Amino acid sequence: MTRILALDWGDKRVGVAFSEGFFASPHSVIRRGSNLETYAKIEALVAETGAELLVMGLPLSFNPDEPLGFQAKRVLKHRDALAERLAIPIEMVDETYTTVDAEAYLRQAGKKGKIPIDAAAAAVILQHYLDEG
């Protein structure tokens, strides 16, 4: 089975999820520092988990004429910077509604407040990838 890390990139935090099978699990949350510090933390997680693939959420806009809004373009810049540092492929996944889905899951599972929403959103992104792959 392929070991996969997923990221839900935010302004202050990066949610992280992990899978080495058919199911995604919330892993951790990276508090954003400088871009270089954040990239180094992601590099360390890739090494620690033995990840063979990185999946990142892409926040597409609801405007069909311009699906890549400001947030999406910023995430793509981070993807490009990580691609220069990592020796594993990076896949992008539409992250529309993932935070809403993660909140609903945490509420239903009785885990709201026990699992960070950022990590849960990353798990939703990764599960979407696994289900479509």
Q: What is the pTM of this model?
A: 0.91
Range of the domain at 116: 4-132
Report the number of secondary-structure helices (H) and strands (E) in the chain: 4, 5
Please provide the distance, in angstroms rounded to a whole number, between the alpha carbons at the two ends of the chain.
Answer: 13
CATH number at 84 reads 3.30.420.140
Residue 44, amino acid: A
pLDDT tens sequence across 70-107:
889 999 999 999 999 999 999 999 998 787 788 888 88
Dist. CA 102–CA 40, nearest whole Å: 26
Q: Are strands 4-9 and 90-94 parallel, antiparallel or unpaired?
A: unpaired
Residue 111, classed as helix, strand or coil, is: coil
Number of domains, the chain: 1
